[in-house]
Amino acid sequence: MKKLGLIFAFVFAFVAPAFADPAEGIWKTQVDDGAYAHIKMSACGNKLCGVIARTFNSDGEYKSQNLGKKLVWDMEPLGGGSYGNGSIWQPSKDRVYSSTMELSGNTLVVVGHWGPFKKSQTWTRIK
């Protein structure tokens, strides 16, 4: 019985990463209000969330008060590289918008929606 448990644990350790969402990883945002960030996208239940992992400005990396804060949450995979029904926070305006994302290779187009208006950024994969 112990052997079976060890085999299961071994297989699960190597197979589980194969089920990772393709948008998981580290993404570089575009510059907004003179700064940009690296966002760590990871699973939060069966959805995706993104946390501010590193911040940069024209002088280089700096310790923003926003480090560790959620930037994206509740993003549902819709298939074909599309994500929806999520939310995104814009730190420079301290405003939350409904959000969608489109994944294509190593680029992620993130769109914030506010009524009939929308603003998008193209993020690039770091890893």
The pLDDT tens digits of the residues spanning 47-104 come to 999 999 999 999 999 999 999 999 999 999 999 999 999 999 999 899 999 999 999 9
Using the predicted structure, report yes or no on whether residue 110 has a pLDDT greater than 70. yes
Using the predicted structure, report yes or no on whether residue 11 has a pLDDT greater than 70. no
| pTM, full prediction | 0.82
* Contact (Cβ atoms closer than 8 angstroms) between residue 54 and residue 71: no
Amino acid at 109: V
Q: What share of the chain is helix, strand, coil (3-state, %, to 5)?
A: 15, 60, 25
User: Distance of CA 115 to CAs 82, 97, 98, 99, 118, Å?
Assistant: 20, 9, 9, 11, 8
